[in-house]
Structures are given as C-alpha cells and as structure tokens.
C-alpha cells in the first residue's frame, strides 16, 4: 500500500484547509473593522481628519516588508491594503463630526 492519497481525497483535504483559512480571515477582518470603527469614532469626537497620510504610508511599507518575508506577491498585498484602507476611510468620513458617544 502506498502513502499517496487518491487525488479526490487530497483535493478535499486542501479545500478544507482553504475553508478554515477563509473563516479565520473573515473573523480577523471583522476584528480589524471593529478596531477601525473605534478609531473613526474617536477621530469624529475630537474633530480629527478621517485620513492620516503618514500612517497610511507606514502601513504600506510595513505590509510590503511582511509580504516579502512571507513570499506573498507585493502588488497583491498592496491592492489588499488599498482596498481595506479605502473602506476604512469611507466609513470614517460617514461618521458625524463631534460625536457625543
């Protein structure tokens, strides 16, 4: 008997791993947006601008470094961060200025 799994069993195992990773990513993104919502509320209460170009630049540099270390395509990593950042900024801009909560 050999140690090689039939292709279907191997596919199922790999797909189960992908499903688990996707579930973890959804939970991590939800937690990230909970944090950024708190930041947005803080900025709104104190009438701070919804964007912080210096922070965004630092985030891009940090993500590029981590992506490179992890062997992740840099363009993909930057596209991901740009998408998430634009969504955070959009949500921050929707918050009323000088919130009382």
CATH of region 9-94: 1.20.59.10
The answer to whether 44 and 82 are in contact (CB under 8 A) is no
Instruction: Please give the residue that has the higher pLDDT: either 59 or 1.
Output: 59
Contact (CB, 8 A) for 33 and 85 = no
Number of residues that this document lists for the chain: 101
* pTM metric for this prediction: 0.75
Domain ranges of the chain: 9-94
Per-residue pLDDT tens over the stretch 6-37: 899 999 999 999 999 999 999 999 999 999 99
Structure token pair of residue 57: 């630049």
Token pair in block for residue 1 = 């008997």
């Amino acid at each position: 008997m050999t140690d090689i799994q039939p292709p279907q069993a191997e596919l199922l195992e790999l797909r189960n791993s992908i499903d688990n990773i996707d579930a973890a990513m959804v939970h991590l993104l939800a937690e990230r947006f909970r944090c950024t919502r708190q930041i947005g509320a803080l900025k709104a209460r104190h009438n701070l601008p919804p964007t912080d170009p210096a922070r965004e630049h630092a985030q891009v540099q940090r993500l590029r470094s981590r992506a490179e270390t992890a062997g992740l395509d840099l363009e993909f990593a930057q596209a991901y961060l740009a998408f998430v950042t634009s969504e955070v900024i959009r949500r921050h801009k929707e918050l009323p200025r000088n919130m009382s909560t």
